[in-house]
Structure 1
């Protein structure tokens, strides 16, 4: 059964990835057609075509390797500038000597579908803003999908939240501070929560007369941490009956926590600690639905994390290589391949300790995060990524603006195909990174349980 559940999780992610890629290309296709650009092909995958159908000017199809997708748009690159009549023959530049033939061959291949009727509706002939809209259409679809999927999770399934319902109460300070100390001795001091009569299942409703919301555990513990040695009045519910008690937090050294309750580390990665109040009780976690207004913040936080990974991608890949071929553990917040995403989905779906609702929420969150990653990665300003085409269009717009200021006319389009050597370097780097990540995800996968 667990094998079938694992395969079910993998299949879910395969479908999610396929749909994300297909809809990404739709994001390019629709504005391209809206602006009158001819699109000969809309294909999911690479390699040999398995199935295709022609509708209007476009052939829609599926290829053997569904690891990506593309649409072909006519006139992506301008024709090679012709020499002016009577002009002296220029000496070939170093670039032309080394890369000229390669660039010309790529240009010819890219423009082989251009027909006489396409004049005026070629990609490079479109206004700058239309080109930018077309190229941003794909990433925008992934952003929208990520926003919707994560929104469904946090508003429908809820977010694991520490509540003011007590999960555990330690009898003494020794067992509360040291998980290996399973028994208390006569010399151990009673933990304040135990001395106050609190029991697992109690729900604290007020502290020092001020009501606390059910999801305000860190607000409650903030009062406790800030008032060591001082008496604190608590009101709590047990079995539908309200009770009150007092406790005095014990002064101890505890980790410094951020706003989300996670330990804070210094620049060397060491956990920061502080002398704070401590009572020896834990919190029950519960999935609590969040308002729609929380969606932008949650998505924004994920995009910041993804952006941080992309900005430090070279170092991240070094870390992956050291983990893959060494003894280090993989960073759970580091980059993964499609294989890694599928494996994580399978493990989540096969885990017997996770409720079905939590499995669905986790898989939807994974698919949402994948789309946010596709959005951010495609905005990298390098060809052949969408961001590279956007930068090319913006540069041409700037070039034309400057030309108008100085009264110049007949400005030639920016010929981004001249960046083909750099594009090949980027593609090679992506292939190397992809291969390394796949190897690591097979032989040294990220451990989530």
Structure 2
């Protein structure tokens, strides 16, 4: 039951995130006098709608996104441009079909309320408003968690010492099997509660630095721990093993292995800590979005039955399933589960922000790039005293937009199948 509740709650959170995104577009469009005819959550057949003023508000059958419809997205064709003929190239037909469909939505009385007529900076604000709403939601959730609840912050104090080194197929075994070699930390005499103050001749105050020092070391190294108020010297003979890279769990490297884990008290963050943490989240998210094309082979392999990477892309189905898993697990406390659920939702919103900022049509970043180019052209025309080149014709990019859309749909279907047959799991 908790799994179902978690899936439903997280799915509703995703729908809210989509509606929140589109609300940003709609509010700024109306603020600049652009007519918005539709505000929809979902695609396909309309399940429910109501009209208020100029805008129809509704919910559609396929809850994998949303949109608003603004009139006049494309400028009219210039007189000197090509016309439609029987021999027109397919891409020209696409352009004119898109332009004509947009023009049909503009009644004479609303001819002055079209999107393309607004100054470039206003159009940039309208298109940025959606992703920025996701960013605001993500930052708000992260800030509330970091400052109100806190996050587990690893220290240089030992929390647990592995008694032995387990083979890969016995990682969930509670007891050491016969013949299992002692872990380097256990053999060296580490104890829970020891604070590591010096490792291999280097003093450490932060766990992240110490962890990297352990990974970079090999052979027998001197260690100094604080135990009972006194500094105690130890010697540890490290093993070499394959471990995931810190920021790329699907990539492995050969590193030093000690066999202990730190204490991780919950620590509330101050404003600089929040800024630093969220900045790291944004950087990591941008890196993962850029790496999406590289994940195609992994997704195909996962569908074929191979182990799926922990940082594999997930869609709405996979993310909702993770929400159900988080809420139903007994491996963390109840408040920890709630915080993890909100962290997951904030991460999805951060991903929506970064993804939509890609300068490709039909994404918001593509429209921002078009309006920015138009503004740049106008500036150069003014500097060189040339005629205003007019609005940038985004209709010319529709063939490219269709290709990008097909790629996105194909990628989404690939992720959907992987989420169903071989889902990512936390526990």
Could you state the TM-score of these two structures normalised by the residue count of structure 1? 0.79
The counterpart of 1:303, out of the listed 282, 297, 312, is 282
Paired residues of 1:340 and 1:442 also in contact (CA < 8 A): yes
Determine the structure 2 residue equivalent to 1:146.
138
- Of 93, 103, 106, the residue aligned with 1:111 is 103
CA distance in 2, matches of 1:121, 1:91: 26
Equivalent of 2:299, from 297, 314, 320?
320
Q: How does 1:82-97 map to 2 (within 5 A)?
A: 82-83=79-80, 96-97=88-89
1:357-372 matches, within 5 Å, as 357-372=335-350
SS class of match (2:398): helix
| 3-state secondary structure, aligned to 1:448 | coil
Q: Does the C-alpha gap of structure 1 residues 46 and 155 become closer, same or farther in structure 2, counting only changes over 3 Å?
A: same
1:273 aligns with 2:255: yes
Distance of aligned partners of 1:424 and 1:232 in 2 relative to their CA distance in 1, 3 Å threshold: closer
Would the aligned equivalents of 2:26 and 2:68 in 1 still touch at CA under 8 Å? yes
Deviation at 1:316, TM superposition (A): 0.9
Q: Is the 8 A contact 2:166 2:180 kept in 1?
A: no
Larger displacement relative to structure 2 (281-290 or 66-75): 281-290
**1:94–1:105 distance in 2 versus 1, CA, 3 Å:** closer
Q: What per-residue deviation string (whole Å, max 9, x for no partner) do you get for residues 132-157 of structure 1?
A: 00000000001111111122222233
Aligned counterpart, 1:132: 124
Report the Cα offset of residue 81 of structure 1: 1.8
Structure 1 residue runs of 5 or longer lacking an equivalent are: 85-89, 237-242
RMSD over aligned Cα, in angstroms? 3.7
Choose which of 268, 276, 284 in structure 2 pairs with 1:289. 268
Give 1:433 shift: 0.8
How far does residue 162 in structure 1 lie from its aligned partner after superposition?
2.5
Q: How many residues align?
A: 412
Q: Normalising to structure 2: TM-score of the pair?
A: 0.83
Change in Cα spacing, 1:341 to 1:269, as seen in structure 2 (3 Å) is closer
| Residue 272 of structure 1, CA deviation | 3.7
Distance (Å, rounded) in 1 between the aligned partners of 2:305 and 2:188: 43
**1:252 corresponds to 2:238:** yes
SS in 2 for 1:16: helix
For the residues of structure 1 that align with 2:323 and 2:3, how far apart are their CA atoms? 8
Matches of residues 43-442 of structure 1 in structure 2 within 5 Å? 43-83=40-80, 96-163=88-155, 165-169=157-161, 175=164, 180=176, 191-193=187-189, 198=191, 200=192, 202=193, 204=195, 216-217=206-207, 232=224, 234-236=226-228, 243-244=229-230, 246-253=232-239, 270-273=252-255, 282-324=261-303, 326-442=304-420
- Could you list the runs of 5+ residues in structure 2 that have no partner in the other structure? none
Q: Is the 8 A contact 1:265 1:272 kept in 2?
A: no
Q: Bigger radius of gyration, 1 or 2?
A: 1
| CA distance 1:246–1:132, shift in 2 (3 Å) | same
Equivalent-residue separation in structure 2 for 1:189 and 1:50 (angstroms): 61
Structure 1 residues 313 and 415, CA gap change in structure 2 (3 angstroms): same
Is the contact between residue 169 and residue 193 of structure 1 (CA under 8 Å) also seen in structure 2?
no
- 1:182 to partner: Cα distance: 6.4
